[in-house]
Amino acid sequence: MRWRLRFASVRVRITVLATVIVAVALVIGSFALLGMLRGALLRAQSGSAPYRAAELSALAEHGPLPIPLPPLDTSRLTLLQVLDGNGRVVAASRQLQGVPALQQPGARSREVLHRVDGLTGGPWLAERTSATIGGQPTTVVVLTSLDDYARSADLVHTTLLIVIPALVGLVGALVWIVVGRALRPVELMRTEVANITGRKLDRRVPTPPNRDEVARLGHTLNDMLDRLQVSSEAQRRFVADASHELRTPIANIRAALEVATAHPELADWPTIAQDVLHQDARMEHLTADLLLLARADAGALTLRLRPVELSGLVTDELSRAVPDHLSLIAAAPLPEVTIAADGDQLGRVLTNLVDNALRHANHTVAVGLTVDEHWVEISVSDDGPGIAPQDRLAIFDPFVRLDDHRARSQGGAGLGLTIAHQLVQAHNGSLSVAEGGAGATFVVRLPRSPSGSS
């Protein structure tokens, strides 16, 4: 098992693969080299048959060929054999006396013989050529010793047997070192990532200074860790804020009941019951909001799409009761437009935006509805202090209050805009804060239904 795990290493696999490829290439190259060497040596040794046949023809002009044929003055042992038209030996060198014909009619003009009867050593190069000797058609066979050729081939073969394994081992060692150096940053990243836990997301993996794939991997991992850290911190804040928001009504209920049970004869039980119901409704509302946000974050928020007439939805919201010092009005006449949407969730978006505007308005909250060919926009404006540009994105985060001095009972839990933002995005729309103007203006932009009409 340990061997299998070891072989599973990328370094081992690359080294083995590279070494095998180089070994196969060297072996193929060695066979090709031996083949070319043998061919070159044979070509260097061959080609003397016509010349020897001419010598024998000249010798036969002064009488019949001597038996045995005279020895040849050459650097390599060279023997001759003369065959008549029927393939019988009519003359031969002394060493070939009594040896049958070395080549029969129809044989190749040149071939290597590794064994010749009556001769030791070898191999031998046998070449034949046709000639006319003493007026008779004959075949002259020239037999040349290839002892030098054999020694050279053996030397090259022995050298390759030593050099190839050495080269393969050298290549394997070099690949092992090079791959190890190339993968060292990856191993450092792996070690660092292994030490990173949910409580140590501030740590980052080391990245090499170059711009290769390993460096890009390191930057990608660090970007991922940045996102994880931001997400983890947001989750911790969310859990802490949610716990705090839930702890407040729970503490209020417990305090009221403890005081009442300590002095039951003095307690105003109807008032206490009303307060408990109010705190319970607050917890129920907060729990429902948290559940909706959790579903939205998990991508499990489902919408029941059906045709929704927006002017009626806005008119219903404008008819709600508001404090005496405030007025809730339409910014302009409301055009009739129908889109495919979840009416309940879209009404919740509008209610949350109007609630937020009423908390910040000095005198007036105006709701507008505009339509173009592809989009519908719902605007909710107030004449309050407005929103600073640097806060226009943060206000959509959970539990964010730009006016922390206000009591929670008046300001809500800080989830209204977050929920509105999530619901609008679920409708493939956008929620943003408009630039300029007095107060704050929230704009909901939704796509038109293909069947919508204005």
Instruction: Dump pLDDT digits (tens) for 428-451.
Output: 999 998 876 778 899 999 998 644
Res 387 pLDDT > 70 = yes
Comma-separated ranges of CATH 1.10.287.130 domains in the chain: 213-291
pLDDT tens digits for range 292-308: 777 777 677 788 889 99
Q: Give the position of tokens 């090499």.
A: 208
pTM for the whole structure: 0.51
pLDDT for res 4: 52
pLDDT for res 110: 78
Q: What is the mean pLDDT of residues 286-296?
A: 76
Q: Quick check: 330 and 311 in contact, CB under 8 A?
A: no
SS3 46: coil
Q: What is the mean pLDDT of residues 331-335?
A: 89
Fold classified for 213-291: Helix Hairpins (1.10.287)
pLDDT for res 174: 92
Structure tokens, 126: 């046998």
Structure tokens, 192: 């660092």
Res 407 pLDDT > 50 = no
Q: Give the position of tokens 């509008």.
A: 350
Bridge-based pairing of strands 440-447 and 430-433 is antiparallel
Task: Establish how many alpha carbons lie within 13 A of residue 231's alpha carbon, considering only the half-sphere containing its beta carbon.
Answer: 8
Res 405 pLDDT > 70 = no
pLDDT tens digits for range 2-47: 545 455 678 888 888 989 999 999 999 888 888 887 777 777 667 7
pLDDT for res 430: 92
Structure tokens, 280: 């319970």
Q: Residue 346 burial (CB < 10 Å; 0-12/13-18/19+)?
A: buried
Q: Report which listed range, 256-270, 345-359, 426-440, is most confident.
A: 345-359
Q: Report which listed range, 151-160, 278-287, 329-338, 386-395, is most confident.
A: 329-338
Q: Give the position of tokens 């909706």.
A: 292
Average pLDDT, the chain: 81
Res 233 pLDDT > 80 = no
Res 406 pLDDT > 50 = no
pLDDT for res 403: 57
pLDDT for res 426: 87
DSSP structure class, residue 391: G
pLDDT for res 417: 86
CA–CA dist 64, 134 (Å, integer): 7
Comma-separated ranges of CATH 3.30.450 domains in the chain: 48-147
CATH 1.10.3470 fits 48-147, yes or no: no
Q: Using only the alpha carbons of the chain, give its radius of gyration.
A: 50
Bridge-based pairing of strands 364-371 and 375-382 is antiparallel
- What is the percent of the chain with per-residue pLDDT over 90, rounded to a whole number? 12
Q: What is the mean pLDDT of residues 193-202?
A: 74
Domain 306-447: state its class: alpha beta
pLDDT for res 380: 93
Confidence of residue 105 (pLDDT cuts 50, 70, 90): low
DSSP string, 255-300: HHHHHHHHSTTT--HHHHHHHHHHHHHHHHHHHHHHHHHHHHHTT-
Comma-separated ranges of CATH 3.30.565.10 domains in the chain: 306-447
pLDDT tens digits for range 367-379: 999 998 889 999 9
Quick count: other Cβ atoms within 10 Å of Cβ 147?
A: 14
Res 404 pLDDT > 60 = no
Q: How many angstroms from the chain centroid is the CA of residue 221?
A: 13
Strand partners, 110: 127
